[in-house]
Structure 1
Amino acid sequence: MLSIFKSIPTHMDYKGQKLAEQIFQGIILISAVIGFVYGLIIQQFGWTVYIVLAGFVVSCIMTLPPWPMYRRNPLPWQLVIPESSAESNPKPQESLKKKKHK
Structure 2
Amino acid sequence: MEYIIPLIPESIRRIPTHMDFEGQRKAEKTFQVIIVLFAVVGFIWGYVCQQFSQTMYMMLAGFALSCVLTLPPWPMYRTKPLPWLKVQREPESEPQTAPSIQQKTKRRK
TM range, smaller chain = 0.7 to 0.9
Alpha-carbon distance in 1 for matches of 2:100, 2:26: 47
Q: Which has the larger radius of gyration?
A: 2
Equivalent residue in structure 2 for 1:71, among 62, 78, 88: 78
Give RMSD over aligned pairs. Answer: 2.3
Distance (whole Å) between structure 1 residues aligned to residue 85 and residue 33 of structure 2? 34
Q: Where does structure 1 lack aligned partners over 5 or more consecutive residues?
A: none
Does 1:19 pair with 2:58?
Answer: no
- After TM superposition, which residue ranges in structure 1, 4 or more long, deviate above 6 angstroms? none
Are 1:3 and 2:10 matched, yes or no? yes
- 1:41-100 per-position Cα deviation (integer Å, ceiling 9, x unaligned): 11110000000000000000000111000000001112222304x86xx9xxx7xx7388
Matched, 1:98 2:98: yes
Q: TM-score, normalised by structure 2?
A: 0.75
Distance 2:31 2:79 in 1: 18
Question: SS of the residue aligned with 1:11?
Answer: coil
Task: Say which structure is richer in helix.
Answer: 1
Report what 2:5 is aligned to.
none
